[in-house]
Structure 1
Protein backbone atom coordinates (compact mmCIF):
# COMPACT_ATOMS: atom_id res chain seq x y z
CA UNK A 1 0.00 0.00 0.00
CA UNK A 2 1.27 3.47 -0.90
CA UNK A 3 0.40 6.61 1.04
CA UNK A 4 0.60 9.79 -1.07
CA UNK A 5 0.50 13.22 0.59
CA UNK A 6 -0.08 16.33 -1.56
CA UNK A 7 0.63 19.77 -0.10
CA UNK A 8 0.24 23.12 -1.82
CA UNK A 9 -0.63 26.77 -1.34
CA UNK A 10 -3.24 26.53 -4.13
CA UNK A 11 -6.11 24.02 -4.21
CA UNK A 12 -6.33 24.26 -8.04
CA UNK A 13 -2.90 22.62 -8.43
CA UNK A 14 -3.92 19.73 -6.19
CA UNK A 15 -7.19 19.23 -8.09
CA UNK A 16 -5.44 19.27 -11.49
CA UNK A 17 -2.90 16.68 -10.29
CA UNK A 18 -5.71 14.49 -8.95
CA UNK A 19 -7.51 14.61 -12.34
CA UNK A 20 -4.36 13.49 -14.17
CA UNK A 21 -3.70 10.84 -11.55
CA UNK A 22 -7.23 9.41 -11.74
CA UNK A 23 -7.05 9.24 -15.56
CA UNK A 24 -3.88 7.15 -15.33
CA UNK A 25 -5.20 4.89 -12.59
CA UNK A 26 -8.58 4.21 -14.26
CA UNK A 27 -9.95 0.97 -12.82
CA UNK A 28 -6.77 -1.11 -12.73
CA UNK A 29 -5.77 -0.03 -9.23
CA UNK A 30 -7.88 0.29 -6.11
CA UNK A 31 -7.61 3.70 -4.50
CA UNK A 32 -8.84 5.01 -1.16
CA UNK A 33 -9.43 8.74 -1.01
CA UNK A 34 -8.66 11.52 -1.72
CA UNK A 35 -9.09 12.86 1.80
CA UNK A 36 -9.01 16.65 2.02
CA UNK A 37 -7.67 17.90 5.32
CA UNK A 38 -8.81 21.15 6.93
CA UNK A 39 -7.22 24.33 5.70
CA UNK A 40 -4.22 25.44 7.75
CA UNK A 41 -3.85 29.23 8.01
CA UNK A 42 -0.82 31.08 9.39
CA UNK A 43 -1.13 34.80 10.08
CA UNK A 44 1.81 37.17 10.51
CA UNK A 45 1.82 40.80 11.63
CA UNK A 46 4.88 43.00 11.23
CA UNK A 47 5.67 46.65 11.78
CA UNK A 48 5.98 48.83 8.67
CA UNK A 49 7.74 51.71 10.39
CA UNK A 50 9.38 50.52 13.61
CA UNK A 51 10.82 53.91 14.63
CA UNK A 52 7.99 56.45 14.42
CA UNK A 53 4.58 54.85 14.07
CA UNK A 54 4.12 51.79 16.24
CA UNK A 55 0.54 51.39 15.00
CA UNK A 56 1.52 51.14 11.31
CA UNK A 57 1.38 47.38 10.68
CA UNK A 58 0.86 44.98 7.80
CA UNK A 59 -0.69 41.55 8.01
CA UNK A 60 0.07 38.52 5.86
CA UNK A 61 -1.89 35.27 5.69
CA UNK A 62 -0.56 31.97 4.28
CA UNK A 63 -2.94 29.08 3.50
CA UNK A 64 -1.84 25.44 3.28
CA UNK A 65 -3.91 22.72 1.60
CA UNK A 66 -3.29 19.02 2.23
CA UNK A 67 -4.69 15.86 0.58
CA UNK A 68 -3.93 12.19 1.31
CA UNK A 69 -4.45 9.21 -1.05
CA UNK A 70 -3.94 5.49 -0.49
CA UNK A 71 -3.29 2.99 -3.31
CA UNK A 72 -3.81 -0.62 -2.32
CA UNK A 73 -2.46 -2.65 -5.25
CA UNK A 74 0.31 -1.03 -7.27
CA UNK A 75 3.10 -1.79 -9.71
CA UNK A 76 6.14 -0.10 -11.25
CA UNK A 77 4.04 2.12 -13.53
CA UNK A 78 2.45 4.02 -10.62
CA UNK A 79 5.75 4.37 -8.77
CA UNK A 80 7.48 5.76 -11.89
CA UNK A 81 4.61 8.20 -12.43
CA UNK A 82 4.87 9.48 -8.84
CA UNK A 83 8.66 9.86 -9.01
CA UNK A 84 8.55 11.50 -12.46
CA UNK A 85 5.93 14.06 -11.40
CA UNK A 86 7.33 14.70 -7.94
CA UNK A 87 8.91 18.05 -8.86
CA UNK A 88 5.83 19.93 -10.06
CA UNK A 89 6.15 23.63 -9.33
CA UNK A 90 3.98 24.69 -6.38
CA UNK A 91 3.03 21.15 -5.36
CA UNK A 92 4.86 19.02 -2.79
CA UNK A 93 4.37 15.29 -3.17
CA UNK A 94 5.45 12.86 -0.46
CA UNK A 95 4.94 9.12 -0.67
CA UNK A 96 5.68 6.19 1.59
CA UNK A 97 5.11 2.45 1.50
CA UNK A 98 2.94 1.09 4.28
Structure 2
Protein backbone atom coordinates (compact mmCIF):
# COMPACT_ATOMS: atom_id res chain seq x y z
CA UNK A 1 0.00 0.00 0.00
CA UNK A 2 1.09 3.56 -0.69
CA UNK A 3 0.28 6.37 1.71
CA UNK A 4 0.14 10.11 1.11
CA UNK A 5 0.18 12.06 4.37
CA UNK A 6 -0.50 15.82 4.41
CA UNK A 7 -0.12 18.03 7.49
CA UNK A 8 -1.81 21.45 7.58
CA UNK A 9 -1.74 24.12 10.27
CA UNK A 10 -1.55 27.85 10.91
CA UNK A 11 1.29 27.22 13.39
CA UNK A 12 4.65 26.26 11.91
CA UNK A 13 5.94 25.12 15.31
CA UNK A 14 3.23 22.48 15.78
CA UNK A 15 3.66 21.16 12.23
CA UNK A 16 7.41 20.78 12.79
CA UNK A 17 6.82 18.90 16.07
CA UNK A 18 4.56 16.40 14.29
CA UNK A 19 7.07 15.97 11.43
CA UNK A 20 9.84 15.09 13.88
CA UNK A 21 7.56 12.51 15.53
CA UNK A 22 6.73 10.96 12.15
CA UNK A 23 10.39 10.89 11.09
CA UNK A 24 11.46 9.26 14.39
CA UNK A 25 8.80 6.57 14.04
CA UNK A 26 9.68 5.82 10.42
CA UNK A 27 13.37 5.50 11.30
CA UNK A 28 12.60 3.14 14.20
CA UNK A 29 10.30 0.92 12.13
CA UNK A 30 12.49 1.20 8.98
CA UNK A 31 9.66 2.51 6.81
CA UNK A 32 10.77 3.93 3.45
CA UNK A 33 9.55 7.50 3.26
CA UNK A 34 9.87 10.42 0.85
CA UNK A 35 9.78 13.73 2.60
CA UNK A 36 9.11 15.89 4.40
CA UNK A 37 8.25 17.99 1.35
CA UNK A 38 7.63 21.55 2.50
CA UNK A 39 4.99 23.28 0.39
CA UNK A 40 5.34 27.10 0.44
CA UNK A 41 3.06 28.73 3.03
CA UNK A 42 -0.14 30.26 1.77
CA UNK A 43 -0.77 33.78 3.03
CA UNK A 44 -4.28 34.86 3.95
CA UNK A 45 -4.90 38.61 4.32
CA UNK A 46 -8.07 40.13 5.80
CA UNK A 47 -8.91 43.85 5.70
CA UNK A 48 -10.98 45.31 8.56
CA UNK A 49 -12.36 48.86 8.85
CA UNK A 50 -11.08 50.71 11.94
CA UNK A 51 -14.22 52.81 12.36
CA UNK A 52 -17.66 51.65 11.27
CA UNK A 53 -19.05 55.00 10.05
CA UNK A 54 -16.61 57.48 8.52
CA UNK A 55 -12.92 57.06 7.58
CA UNK A 56 -13.19 54.42 4.88
CA UNK A 57 -9.45 54.77 4.27
CA UNK A 58 -8.50 53.75 7.82
CA UNK A 59 -8.15 49.97 7.75
CA UNK A 60 -6.31 47.26 9.61
CA UNK A 61 -4.80 44.32 7.81
CA UNK A 62 -4.58 40.96 9.55
CA UNK A 63 -2.50 38.19 8.03
CA UNK A 64 -2.10 34.47 8.61
CA UNK A 65 0.04 31.79 6.98
CA UNK A 66 -1.17 28.27 6.33
CA UNK A 67 1.71 25.77 6.51
CA UNK A 68 1.59 22.48 4.63
CA UNK A 69 3.94 19.47 4.68
CA UNK A 70 3.69 16.37 2.50
CA UNK A 71 4.97 12.83 3.16
CA UNK A 72 4.97 9.99 0.63
CA UNK A 73 5.32 6.46 1.98
CA UNK A 74 5.83 3.87 -0.75
CA UNK A 75 5.31 0.63 1.19
CA UNK A 76 3.47 0.32 4.47
CA UNK A 77 1.82 -2.61 6.28
CA UNK A 78 -1.38 -2.50 8.29
CA UNK A 79 0.55 -2.81 11.56
CA UNK A 80 2.88 0.05 10.60
CA UNK A 81 -0.13 2.15 9.60
CA UNK A 82 -1.76 1.54 12.99
CA UNK A 83 1.44 2.62 14.76
CA UNK A 84 1.59 5.72 12.58
CA UNK A 85 -2.00 6.61 13.48
CA UNK A 86 -1.28 6.23 17.21
CA UNK A 87 1.09 9.22 17.20
CA UNK A 88 -0.07 11.93 19.59
CA UNK A 89 -0.92 14.88 17.34
CA UNK A 90 -1.95 18.33 18.55
CA UNK A 91 -5.52 19.24 17.46
CA UNK A 92 -4.14 22.42 15.83
CA UNK A 93 -2.58 20.25 13.11
CA UNK A 94 -4.96 18.79 10.52
CA UNK A 95 -3.88 15.43 9.07
CA UNK A 96 -5.08 14.15 5.69
CA UNK A 97 -4.42 10.53 4.65
CA UNK A 98 -4.77 9.03 1.18
CA UNK A 99 -4.24 5.29 0.74
CA UNK A 100 -3.67 3.63 -2.62
CA UNK A 101 -3.01 -0.02 -3.32
- Fold similarity call, TM over 0.5: yes
TM-score by length of 2: 0.84
Looking at structure 2, the residues matched to 77 and 48 of structure 1 have their Cα atoms a distance apart, in angstroms, of 55
Instruction: Give runs of ≥4 in structure 1 deviating > 3 Å.
Output: 81-87
Deviation at 1:82, TM superposition (A): 4.2
Deviation (angstroms), 1:87: 5.9
The equivalent of 1:42 in structure 2 is 44
CA contact (8 A) 1:41 1:63 kept: yes
CA RMSD of the aligned region, Å?
1.8
- State how many pairs are aligned: 98
Instruction: Provide closer, same or farther for how the CA distance between residues 15 and 77 of structure 1 changes in structure 2, counting only shifts above 3 A.
Output: farther
CA-CA distance at 1:66 after TM superposition: 0.5
Q: Does the CA-based 8 Å contact 2:25-2:84 persist in structure 1?
A: no
Q: Name stretches of at least 5 consecutive residues in structure 2 with no aligned partner.
A: none
- Structure 1 stretches lacking a partner, 5+ long: none
User: Given the alignment of the two structures, is residue 28 of structure 1 paired with residue 34 of structure 2, yes or no?
Assistant: no
Q: TM-score, normalised by structure 1?
A: 0.86
Taking the aligned partners of 2:31 and 2:88, their CA distance within structure 1 comes to 20
